[in-house]
Structure 1
Amino acid sequence: QTLQREKQPHDLNDTFKELFHVVPGNGDPLLERKSVGCRRCAVVGNSGNLRESWYGPHIDSHDFVLRMNKAPTTGFEADVGSKTTHHFVYPESFRELAENVSMVLVPFKTLDLEWVVSATTTGTISHTYVPVPSKIKVKKDQILIYHPAFIKYVFDSWLQGHGRYPSTGILSVIFSLHVCDEVDLYGFGADSRGNWHHYWENNPSAGAFRKTGVHDGDFESNVTTTLASIHKIRIFKGR
């Protein structure tokens, strides 16, 4: 409850009860371990190093394609692909998703859980610390919730307490390690010139993709680099 320093944390248990009254919580059949064979996952970040990478077909060849936050694909298919199976968002980064895409809510604060309830029913929450969509069109059985205890596990065990809380990117990576046999990362880190920006931005020095101060970008990068060095994941660095 202190991840984002909530001044008046609400009762989480009451919020959970309300949440699962609205969201079935039956789980995603795609994530069940009944499938035979090697499950390949692409975790697609939003770095500008995807520009002119021509990774699109390679990304789309994976069984699961995980994207996060705004992540547009229209107009960028050659570099980022068009397939998405799971999209990681929080209220402030929500975007409308295709019908066959599962939304994975990453709850950084109690209000995020309350927003899911509101956005699929009454639409009463329209502002957190910025305006957020009051209603969303995602089917309730396609809404998954990233467990807060798993966020704490990532923070304690993988990041060793670095930063104020984990980024959506590292949470997506650790999630994929637990559900996939092969994990390929695309669109993480700066481009070859050291610029931090999103692949859909024309300004390579745009500030939105710089270190935010709440995440320890260097430590998170070291985690993925270490995983790659021991052949647990592959990192495709683009341009």
Structure 2
Amino acid sequence: MKAGEARRALCHAVFILLLCVGVFVVLRERVAEVSLENFSPFHNTSPCACGKCLSEDDVWFTQRFNKSVEPFLSAKHSLSEAAFRWWKVTSLTFSPYVIHATVDNLFKTFPATPDVEASSDRCRTCAVVGNSGNLNGSPTPLDTHCKFPPLMNTGRTKGYEADVGKRTTHHVMYPESAVDLDNTTHLVLVPFKIQDLEWLIKAFTTGFSGASYMPVKSHIKANKDLVMVVNPAFMRYVHDTWLEKKGRYPSTGFMALVLALHICDEVSVFGYGADKDGNWSHYFEILKNKHLRTGPHAGTHEYDVIQQLHKNQIIHFFKGW
């Protein structure tokens, strides 16, 4: 095979299940093969092996996209003071010592460094699928993406395979929406408060007995080696830079989309936003409250940003209606 010619080497799916808008990411990788005899230091200066990479040639996008922000917590990067102050207000937590001690304990149980680095010899394509009612009757056969079905928080696949697919590889949740997972699915935690990190540790070990605004699972069944925790600094970056501080904090769905922009090279988006009548509903339920909106999230502004990303050809957005 000639230098620079891409072949499909790996196909794995990333399903992200979300609050208000459920999301899964279908991820496919192509890895370029390079022969040493034809190698040149000038051969490939592009950040990815796709025909076009997300970070190229768009001023509006590059003004918002900051690749230096770590998407996930890891043992290598501590929480900055600025991110701590933002999270303190959001999570009503006031002790930096407690936060740093909890993060240290986190990586005694779970992987210290998630593998999400970019590569110039890889083309990673993702389908980010929300659980909006717009997903019903999706014209695109999502399973052809080598994908994962949309389950966010309590999103469902059984009975909805034609719309959301059959497989789940990454499931995004927080304690109040937690569900048991199989041994091959990644648990992706969005920590809205310090107690969420404490819950994650104890739910896998001694059992959690704390209180919240609704009942939470004391134990969870999942593969501890496939746990990933979204970085509060990333949550702040999404709120401040992408949403211009609108809303109290980003929806889980919008954070998942920006997360995909950071770990994928090509992104397609399904199942987001209100329906054609302006109602915010889920694909798996009959809408009873037609006045239901997006609560503390700037839902309309988030949707406008998604449409701008599509207009600028950064993503491919399929409305569903």
**TM-score over 0.5 (shorter chain):** yes
Structure 1 SS opposite 2:213: coil
CA gap 1:206/1:77 in 2 versus in 1, 3 angstroms: farther
Post-superposition CA distance 1:183-221 (Å, at most 9, x none): 1111101122322211111236466x6211x11111111
Per the alignment, residue 228 of structure 1 pairs with 310
Structure 1 SS opposite 2:279: coil
**Superposition CA RMSD, Å:** 2.3
CA contact (8 A) 1:67 1:87 kept: yes
Amino acid of the structure 2 residue aligned with 1:13? H
CA contact (8 A) 1:60 1:81 kept: no
Structure 2 SS opposite 1:150: helix
Per the alignment, residue 201 of structure 1 pairs with 285
CA gap 1:156/1:66 in 2 versus in 1, 3 angstroms: farther
CA gap 1:63/1:199 in 2 versus in 1, 3 angstroms: closer
CA contact (8 A) 2:133 2:283 kept: yes
CA contact (8 A) 1:42 1:185 kept: yes
CA contact (8 A) 1:43 1:67 kept: no
Q: 1:49 aligns with which of 127, 134, 142?
A: 134
Structure 2 SS opposite 1:40: strand
Per the alignment, residue 189 of structure 2 pairs with 105
Post-superposition CA distance 1:48-88 (Å, at most 9, x none): 11122254x32551467675222211110101112222221
CA contact (8 A) 1:185 1:234 kept: yes
Structure 2 SS opposite 1:122: coil
Amino acid of the structure 1 residue aligned with 2:132? S
Give TM-score, length-normalised by structure 2: 0.67
Structure 2 SS opposite 1:38: strand
Per the alignment, residue 189 of structure 1 pairs with 273
Structure 2 distance, partners of 1:134, 1:230, is 45
How far the C-alpha of 1:22 sits from its partner, in A, is: 1.5
Structure 2 distance, partners of 1:65, 1:35, is 28
5 Å-filtered alignment, 1:1-239, equals 1-6=87-92, 9=95, 11-28=98-115, 31-33=116-118, 36-55=121-140, 57-62=141-146, 67-125=151-209, 127-203=211-287, 205=289, 210-212=293-295, 214-239=296-321
Structure 2 distance, partners of 1:75, 1:229, is 33
Structure 2 distance, partners of 1:199, 1:65, is 12
Structure 1, unaligned stretches of length 5 or more?
A: none
CA contact (8 A) 2:93 2:194 kept: no
CA contact (8 A) 1:3 1:164 kept: no
How far the C-alpha of 1:32 sits from its partner, in A, is: 4.2
CA contact (8 A) 2:150 2:165 kept: no
- Count of residue pairs the alignment pairs up: 234
How far the C-alpha of 1:96 sits from its partner, in A, is: 2.3
How far the C-alpha of 1:18 sits from its partner, in A, is: 1.3
Structure 2 distance, partners of 1:236, 1:79, is 13
Specify the structure having the higher radius of gyration (Cα): 2
Structure 1 distance, partners of 2:148, 2:166, is 12
Structure 2 SS opposite 1:178: helix
Amino acid of the structure 1 residue aligned with 2:315? I
